[in-house]
Amino acid sequence: MSRMIFSINQCSPVELRLLKALRALNWEGSWPAQAGFFLEEMGLSSSQAFVFADLVTAIIEADPGFYLLGPTSPFVSRDELNLLAALGNASRKSSNRLGQVTRSRVPVVKSLIDSCGTALRAGQISMKTRASLHNGRTLPSVASQVLPFQDDRTLRNVTVVSVHKPTPRVRRIVLGGHSLKTFVTDLAAQWVKIFLPGGTTQPVGRAFTIYSFDAINSQLTFDIALHDGGPMSDWALTAKPGDGLQLAGPRGGFKGVTPRSWLLMAADETGLPAVAAIVRLLPADLEVHVFAEVADESERQFLDTQPNVRVRWIYRNGTSSQEPETLSEVLRYSPLPATGGDAWIAAEASAIRSIRTQLLRDRGFELGRVQAAGYWKHGEQDHRDLAAG
């Protein structure tokens, strides 16, 4: 199956915000709750926000195949572009061709689009004029990219092929299954959501980075850092070949390095699989400084690095000759190139906050060149950081 999706760059800033809110309304977890804030940020009142929620519900009911992507997807679907076109028309009070939005003419959708248009007008939100797209015809003068359809919400059934123990507190899990034949990963360090079998209860789902993907054998490998009191960590302790799981994604990933820059990477055990996946692919002449915090020396891992990559291991529990250290403190006192480079950081949320502040305030990094995400948070189950993409 293929569906038309395009680069999101063709959307205006206003369209991007509106699209994010519409997608959030249709998404899982805390996203619907955040949608109201996204709309309020655009200048709509919370009472006006309800009509957008009704619109999304009505569209999906009228046309279950309507293709709304995830809130942070870097692509936009043809259906979404048509919806934006219709909302723009409605906000200018121009005639609306309902057939461009849903495949069936449903009066309630038309009336809700008109109401949303009225809300946009009342909020003085000016929408871009855009043509509707039919049968894959692209907008003139707009660069677009047609990609194979891969819905990151599709749940794939997978089976554990093997379990390895690269260090005492990490389990490396290799997954296989027919469903991975259509799996595509196009950026290093993308992540997937892994779901434990739920039985009658709500399944537990957690984010894990793709350590590697073998497209020929359709096998995906990821690492779980063991810790106390987490269902996913508990599962990993007894995981064995043949265990069934479900997987959704991929999402996020490493966005690359600015030309003529250098790269700082910092991670704890949860970010290490991403570091491993990224350093494998970096150009040989790129200057890279990796700071990796693990519990102790036994948790040190092999990283397949180029000669220009310097790795500093930091031991949270210390060693016989060394006091305990933390990522943030070691980074603070380490010599680094004087000019701000690019940074990629993934670790516990409060460590991330401290490192991000340090890089921006004391090290001269530019905001847009620091990719930093809290991969977990002390005392919080299934912590979600939107920066993870």
Report the alpha-carbon distance of residue 192 to residue 247 in Å, rounded.
7
> Kindly report the CA angle at 245 between 241 and 246, in degrees rounded to 5?
145
- Is residue 268 within 8 Å of 294, Cβ to Cβ? yes
Question: Is 375 a binder of ligand FAD (CB under 6 A)?
Answer: yes
309 vs 258: CA distance, rounded Å? 17
Nearer to ligand FAD, 11 or 292 (CB): 292
Nearest one of 273, 327, 335 to 295, comparing CA atoms: 327
Q: By rule CB under 6 A, what string of x and - marks binding of each residue 263-282 to ligand FAD? A: -------x--x---------
Query: Applying CB under 6 A, does 232 fall inside the site for ligand FAD?
Result: yes
The residues in 40-79 that bind ligand FAD, with binding defined as CB under 6 A, are none
Residue type, 179: S
Among 14, 175, 224, 247, binds ligand FAD (CB under 6 A): 224
Note whether 187 binds ligand FAD by CB under 6 A: no
Q: What are the φ/ψ torsions at residue 43 (nearest 5 degrees)? A: 110, 10
Burial of 254 (0-12, 13-18, 19+ CB in 10 A): buried
Long-range contact set of residues 45-50: C-beta below 8 Å, sequence gap at least 24: 45/123, 48/119, 48/122, 48/123, 49/21
Nearer to ligand FAD, 43 or 230 (CB): 230
C-beta of 372: minimal distance to ligand FAD in Å?
Answer: 12
| Contact range with ligand FAD by CB under 6 A, out of 84-92, 204-212, 309-317, 335-343 | 204-212
Interface segment toward ligand FAD; rule CB under 6 A; list 4-12, 64-72, 302-310, 375-383: 375-383
Total of residues contacting ligand FAD (CB under 6 A): 29
Q: Does 167 bind ligand FAD (CB under 6 A)?
A: no
- Interface with ligand FAD (CB under 6 A): 191, 206-209, 222-225, 227, 229-233, 252, 270, 273, 375-383, 385, 388
